Amino acid sequence: MSTGPPPCTTSGPVRHVVVAALGVTQILAWGSSYYLLAVLGKPIAADTGLSLSIVVGGLSLGLLAGGLASPLIGRTIEARGGRPILATSSVLLGFGLALLGSSHHLAMYLTAWLVLGIGMGCGLYDAAFATLGRAFGGQARNAIVSLTLWGGFASTVCWPLTAWLLDAYGWRGVCFAYAIVQLGFSLPVHLTLMPRAQPRSNSGGKLETRSVHLLTPNQRHAFTLFAVLVTMGGAIASIMSVHLLTFLQTRGLDLAAAVALGALFGPAQVAARIVEMTFGNRYHPIWTLTAAKGLIFLAVILLLSGVPFIGLAVITYGAGNGVWSIARGTMPLALFGPSGYATLIGRFALFGLLAQAVSPSLAAVVLDRFGTATVLSVLAVMALVNAGVTAMLWASVPRAKAGSP
């Protein structure tokens, strides 16, 4: 397996400064894009006259755009490092938010989300993981795990902040405020505190990236299996994030109780990441991946079972999703090495973001026609398949490297 160029090809601030700075900008990026409509969806629909489904569809369009752009984003990070891509994300998010705040008709609204979507592709977890992998090579695992801990606070920080700004300035004011934050804070942070990477080139002077075709047969097999995990994992995560409160209510809870239980998701996610950060470095990331897929499968089964297991289901799902975010960044590094890591992350992001773009809408159709039990049953089958694919992936991990807990 190729080990790639040493981390010394990257210069700039020390690792803990990079992770802390990127952690803060990740919170702001997630809060001003992916999590934005959780608070602003209904106010935007009421003010513009657009249906709520169209308003939420803007996010799906953005995820689609970000997914299609991800392979190019990954190749660019691999070739030139993450600083220019992360800076571009701040510019695109700022410009997209300004467009969103200025939207008075459908065409401009959807255009804003196209810009925001490419900004998300340049600036959320996949690009951040690729940046850390490019900067720190085989030593990037701890940085990736620490970053997910920061990112786990995005909804906790930004939902209340967005709600406060909404009450004070209206939904358009929220968009303009976040645009200022992206351009006035995140952009300078990315330009000054992200590592400056030396371009990688081959003997012919062309920028070097890594093709899937250059992987060994065993690595290609692992690539296919992990692509399945990322695709189905993205679908499950997006369906659960959009429809979780509905699932809880149809399991017998009123809205207030559903919201209260749903609030357990964030702390469970962060707590699981703290546990992984404390103990996970002793073992191969395949153990983290196995725990993630097992917990997510168990959570769906508990949701299907209903009362009295609903609260435990939310906590279990939060924990599983929390460590899945870690495995998504660390498994490719362990399977394929640091050489070409950013390129491969970009390819995996394509599968995950496309799944996230279409799955909630498809789930809504099934939910309307067949009910919650059917949707949860489909999720259970998907989670079971994921667990099976994870078991198959073990064959791609040498026993000596996997270790045992």
Residue 241 lies in a domain: yes
Question: How high is the pLDDT of residue 212?
Answer: 54
Choose the final residue of a domain: 197, 225, 258: 197
Q: Within a 10 A sphere around the Cβ of 293, how many other Cβ atoms?
A: 28
Rounded Cα–Cα distance for residues 162 and 175 (Å): 9
pTM for the model: 0.81
Cα–Cα distance for residue pair 60/13, rounded to 1 Å: 36
Computed over its alpha carbons, how large is the radius of gyration of the chain? 20
Could you give the dihedral angle defined by the CA atoms of residues 76, 79, 82 and 85, in that order, rounded to the nearest 10 degrees? -30
Report d(CA 14, CA 362) in Å as an integer. 44
The pairing of beta strand 196-197 with beta strand 10-11: antiparallel
CA angle 120, 31, 143 (to 5 degrees): 70
Residue 24: CA count within 13 A, CB half-sphere: 15
Measure the CA angle with vertex 222, ends 221 and 227; round to 5°: 100
The verdict on residue 395 lying in a domain is: yes
* One domain, residues 94 and 216: no
The CA dihedral of 384, 393, 357, 214, to the nearest 10 degrees, is: -160
Same domain, 95 and 150: yes
**Nearest-5° angle of CA 322, CA 391, CA 130?**
45
* Whole-number Å distance between alpha carbons of 47 and 33: 19
Closest CA to 359 of 259, 258, 241, 263: 241
Tell me the backbone φ, ψ of residue 263, rounded to 5 degrees. Answer: -70, -15
The answer to whether the beta carbons of residues 371 and 250 sit under 8 Å apart is yes
Domain encompassing residue 183: 12-197
In this structure, are 375 and 328 located in the same domain? yes
Q: Which residues pair with 201 in a beta bridge?
A: 207
> What does the DSSP assignment read for 69-115?
HHHHHHHHHHHH-SHHHHHHHHHHHHHHHHHHHT--SHHHHHHHHHH
Residue 207 main-chain phi, psi, to 5 deg: -65, 135
Question: Which letter does DSSP use for residue 153 in this model?
Answer: T
Query: Does residue 251 share a domain with residue 174?
Result: no
- pLDDT confidence of residue 356: 87
Domain count of the fold of the chain = 2
Task: Give the domain-ending residue among 197, 229, 260.
Answer: 197
Phi-psi group of 403: left, alpha or beta (phi > 0 → left; psi -120 to 50 → alpha; rest → beta): left
- Same-domain status, 244 and 352: yes
pLDDT tens, the chain, 405 aa long: 334 444 444 555 688 899 999 999 999 999 999 889 888 888 998 999 998 888 888 998 999 999 999 999 999 998 888 999 999 999 999 999 999 999 999 999 999 999 999 999 999 989 999 999 888 887 888 888 889 888 878 877 888 898 899 999 999 999 999 999 999 999 999 999 998 876 665 544 444 455 555 677 888 888 999 999 999 999 998 888 778 877 888 877 776 777 777 778 878 888 998 888 888 778 888 999 999 999 999 999 998 887 778 889 889 999 999 899 889 888 988 888 888 888 888 889 889 888 988 888 888 888 888 888 899 999 999 999 999 999 999 887 765 455 544
280 & 148 share domain: no
> Could you tell me if 364 and 251 lie in one domain?
yes
Task: Give residue 366's pLDDT.
Answer: 87
CATH code of the domain containing 257 = 1.20.1250.20
